[in-house]
Amino acid sequence: MAYCIECGKKIPDRAKFCKFCGTDQVSDTGVEPTPAPPAEEQRPQTPAPKPEPPKGPGKIWGPGEKSANSIFTLLSDGEEFKGYKVLKHLNTDAESVKYIVSKKGSEQKYVLRLFHKSFVENIEHLYQLQMRLKNLRNLRHRYIAPVVDTDTGNKSPYMVAQWAEGKSLAELKETNPEYFTEDTVRRIGRQLIETARAAREQNLTLNKLSLVGILLDEDENIQVLSSGINYDESDEREDIFTIGIIICQLLSKSVLYASIYSEARLRVAKFSYINGTSLSLNKVLADALHRNILQRYKDLETLQKGWESLPAISKDEIYQAQEQIGGAEIVREDKKPKGAFDIYFWILILLIIASFGVIFTTNIFSFIFGDEEFAYTGFFAADSLKQERRVQTIPQPQYADTPESSAYIPRQTRTSELSRRTRDLPGSTQRKGQQPSAQTEQVFQKVPDNFVQIRMNSFGFGRGKGERPNVTIDAFYLSRHEVTQAEWRQFMTPAFCSAIGDDLPVDNVSWNDIIIYCNARSDKEGLQRAYKSSVVNGIRVVTCDFKANGYRLPSEAEWELAAKAGMDYDYSGSDDPDDVAWYSSNSSGKIRKVGLKKINPYGLYDMTGNVAEWVWDWFDPNYIRNLPTFMNPSGPANGTLKSIRGGSVMNGAGSGLNILSRDRMNPASGRQFLGFRLVRTY
């Protein structure tokens, strides 16, 4: 057997291409792999030694052997590279092969990193690497192992950093966890914040740093390895989040510290106070690890001020969890320090008395669950007769679907609800079961900016042209166009979009992040949140209140109703995709500004093409044909993938772009050309 010259995996002797990575075995070496010898020649008199497996990723060359087109060879001990003498092969990671080297005439040790060919052949990786090495060369700080030599060329990029002596925090945490007292961790935290600020001055970030990338030297000061420093234009508050994770893992006494305080969990679950740690430090960590980036410390300088202002541990109160499971702190999302019991008890008693007073003297339930005005009724029936309730009845105006329509649109009241209200009016002669008059009650509401009203309707969910309706959807508001990057940045950190522009739709955002965005925007505008998130058995569970007036994603049925807009087109608003959509044949694979194509009959842009759109429902290929309900279906109760509708600039005319086309994806991930639009219930 031979080995691939790129990925290092075993391949057949006569293979011209690697079946794992597709590398051409002829063009890379200039010769074909050596053919296998005849069968009779494969029986040596004495057993032949087994060939040594490749030592570096993607290389089959032994010490001193070279490849014609590979960026570097596997260096052997004592070999020289650019004036450095190899002392020992250190390790290999996803980016590079590392060696301990020395320089002629000096006993100082260095770490030489030779970057993999596959890593630097990607133009985006190469650009980031060049910027990273350039800025690392200029970065000088007492807690960072200095970089002394770099080559940022695309042929053979490498980096040489000064060798740092010490043990990693990950190793110390495993072998000597008692070392990390709060006093020690506070000192490490101060040094980490100072280091992060120095890196930011060179446009570098520590947002990917972990315990493995930090050493503790003999003076008990940290040394941040260059491998833990990246070039990234992420928000400074991501560095704060990373520092908070490192501190939590060092402080936690649980054997499950890496899971309880992991990045993935803390981005969806509320921070849980650390047992045996001062309340003041827990409060600082809670502000650093807030799931909503807008609620964290605004920058590293502010975090440093909060850190320096921590009171002495001896003068602070220590947080103690009441219970533990398996040595791990119980994750209590609502755990708070105890307050003054007597005050809270009497406040609770007063609130209960006030609640009973409101229930028995007002029409609170009719006000909450109906459309009646709030009024005082008194304790006796005679008091309620003094209250007049008026209902405005006017002829129903024509419904407006287009952008030119008035911003004030009436909400149609259901017949059953109208009948009940009519019976309740003083002096009403209508009897139970009697139909209301031809006039219909209207309640006027202002349509939100950049939204259109989709009225209550029935349609063929998942059905093609000419098929009969099978579901009914209540009325709702839907955003006229996909959410833009400018709208996204008002509440969230900038996304890694496929193209940058305020008027371009945001893409490459996960379903989970959209849930956070919706709640943040609802809070900002004083609306009731549609989403509630909790952690059940370590799994994030998101529920939706479809009656709340805050922002949310459309259900798959709501999206399809709005896309069809009462018509039988193949695409949203036309049978010709060029009229209404940006897709592969007219977009050159690039997303475009919202609102450039024709609207559909409901006044909506880009329901087909531009970017595909997340919806609320879990994906099930059999759900639509086996609907459990025909009134406001909202998808399966559970699943692993979320549904996607609408197609994008990467889809061609046909099934991928068709109005009935469905796609799916992991809700924790984003991808290019996948965005969303918003719904509000009214």
Q: What is the 3-state secondary structure (H, E, C) of 91-135?
A: EECCCEEEEEEEECCCCCEEEEEEECHHHHCCHHHHHHHHHHHHH
The chain-wide mean pLDDT, for the chain, equals 79
Same domain, 458 and 557: yes
Tell me the range of 2-6, 92-96, 294-298 where mean pLDDT is highest: 294-298
The pLDDT value recorded for residue 369 is 61
Q: Look up residue 296 and give its two tokens.
A: 């964290």
Is residue 147 a part of any domain in this protein? no
Whether the predicted pLDDT of 631 surpasses 80: yes
- 3-class DSSP assignment, residue 497: coil
User: In the chain, how many domains are there?
Assistant: 5
Q: Look up residue 265 and give its two tokens.
A: 């969990």
Same domain, 416 and 484: no
Q: Which domain holds residue 424?
A: 393-446
Burial 13-42 (b: 16+ CB within 10 A, else e): eebeebeeeebebeebeeeebeeeeeeeee
Q: What is the pLDDT confidence band of residue 233, given thresholds at 50, 70 and 90?
A: confident
Same domain, 481 and 614: yes
Is residue 109 a part of any domain in this protein? no
Q: What is the pLDDT of residues 163-220, one digit of tens each?
A: 888 889 999 999 999 999 999 999 999 999 999 999 999 889 998 899 988 999 888 8
* 397 touches 410 (CB < 8 A): yes
Same domain, 504 and 649: yes
Same domain, 283 and 371: no
Q: What is the 3-state secondary structure (H, E, C) of 131-142?
A: HHHHHHHHCCCC
Same domain, 292 and 380: no
Final residue belonging to a domain, choices 17, 49, 65 = 65
The CATH number assigned to the domain holding 616 equals 3.90.1580.10
Q: What is the pLDDT of residues 573-622, one digit of tens each?
A: 999 999 999 999 999 999 999 999 999 999 999 999 999 999 999 999 99
Whether the predicted pLDDT of 37 surpasses 80: no
Whether the predicted pLDDT of 116 surpasses 80: no
Same domain, 352 and 417: no
Same domain, 422 and 505: no
The pLDDT value recorded for residue 130 is 79
What element of type H or E holds 577?
helix 577-580
Rg, Å, the chain Cα set: 32
Q: Mean pLDDT, to the nearest integer, of 128-135?
A: 81
Q: What is the pLDDT confidence band of residue 520, given thresholds at 50, 70 and 90?
A: very high
Final residue belonging to a domain, choices 286, 309, 329 = 329
Same domain, 639 and 518: yes
The pLDDT value recorded for residue 294 is 87
The pLDDT value recorded for residue 418 is 35
Tell me the range of 102-111, 119-128, 156-165, 308-317 where mean pLDDT is highest: 308-317
> φ and ψ at 360, to 5 degrees?
-90, -10
Is residue 335 a part of any domain in this protein? no
* 87 touches 77 (CB < 8 A): yes
> Nearest Cα to 270, choosing from 280, 278, 279, 260?
260
- 3-class DSSP assignment, residue 288: helix
Same domain, 431 and 457: no
Final residue belonging to a domain, choices 12, 32, 65 = 65
Q: Mean pLDDT, to the nearest integer, of 291-317?
A: 92
Residue located via tokens 């007597």: 342
Whether the predicted pLDDT of 60 surpasses 60: no
The pLDDT value recorded for residue 8 is 60
Whether the predicted pLDDT of 390 surpasses 60: no
Report CA 124 to chain centroid distance, whole Å. 21
Cβ-based neighbour number of residue 92 at 10 Å: 17
Q: What is the pLDDT confidence band of residue 400, given thresholds at 50, 70 and 90?
A: very low
Is residue 124 a part of any domain in this protein? no
Q: Look up residue 311 and give its two tokens.
A: 């009171």
In the DSSP assignment, the letter for residue 611 is S
Residue located via tokens 């809700």: 667
Q: What is the pLDDT confidence band of residue 411, given thresholds at 50, 70 and 90?
A: very low
Same domain, 319 and 418: no
Is residue 85 a part of any domain in this protein? no
Is residue 130 a part of any domain in this protein? no
Average the pLDDT over each of 46-55, 214-223, 628-637 and give the range with the smallest value.
46-55
CA dist list (Å): 468 to 427, 461, 463, 472, 554: 43, 9, 8, 12, 23
Q: What is the pLDDT confidence band of residue 269, given thresholds at 50, 70 and 90?
A: confident
Q: What is the pLDDT confidence band of residue 17, given thresholds at 50, 70 and 90?
A: low
Whether the predicted pLDDT of 226 surpasses 70: yes
Same domain, 368 and 421: no
Is residue 131 a part of any domain in this protein? no
Is residue 129 a part of any domain in this protein? no
Is residue 359 exposed (0-12), middle (13-18) or buried (19+ Cβ within 10 Å)?
exposed
